[in-house]
Amino acid sequence: MNITLTRALALPAFGSALILAGCAEPATGTADQAAEQADDASPQDAFFAALSTHCGKAYSGSLVSEDEADADFVGAEMLMYVSECSDDRIAVPFHVKLDGADWDRSRTWLITRTEDGLRLKHDHRHEDGTSDAVTMYGGDTADDGSAAAQSFPVDDFSIEMFEREGLDVSVTNVWTVEVDAAGTPDARYVYQLKRTVEGGAPEPRDFRVEFDLTTEVEAPPPAWGWE
């Protein structure tokens, strides 16, 4: 794949995940069922339950932020696919097709339960399935968040990797994921990377994509390395 494109996409930190040992049965559910589960659940558990209602489903989305650094993504085709779910992990491959290029299937967002909340990691792979030099970056929730949104400040592992790979601008990254349960009116899934000068970044950064969860699309092929 185009190495320049690979590095450019790695900087915004799109995600991926460790390959799960076998595919769990797709979870089913509705907004009402997710709400019932959320009544006595922590915000992280409620968030995880809402995302689980989309297991086995794919949706289209688009770039909604206006950062000049992401000009190549304006109008690009994008798909997310909640491909694998278990009680502890949910894998969400992210596919993007830039103008004139083939589909880039190198990323999967992985959301995992921890003892203290949730963890977001990004498994970034090449077309032959091998791991990119910049992979498994992300972070853990630092607060309760909400049933609809969770934020993940960059962790020490990621900071060390970014510094090693010359991506020092990414050492203050904060990723945020928003999701509505299946059946929610105007439901959407949001992935955002943000860093601010106030947070220690040399310059602000805002990358945000949104997916329409009200209309399913055909599931894409597996992410690279997940075949």
Query: What pLDDT is recorded for position 3?
Result: 36
Do 145 and 163 form a contact (C-beta atoms < 8 A)?
no
Given a cut of 50, whether residue 49 has pLDDT beyond it is yes
Query: What pLDDT is recorded for position 193?
Result: 98
C-alpha closest to that of 104 among 76, 130, 85:
76
pTM above 0.75, yes or no: yes
Query: What pLDDT is recorded for position 21?
Result: 30
Average of per-residue pLDDT across 74-78? 95
Give the percent of the chain with pLDDT over 90. 79
C-alpha closest to that of 171 among 185, 157, 182:
157
State pLDDT tens for residues 133-168: 999 999 999 999 999 999 999 999 999 999 999 999
Helix (H) / strand (E) element for 91: namely: strand 89-97
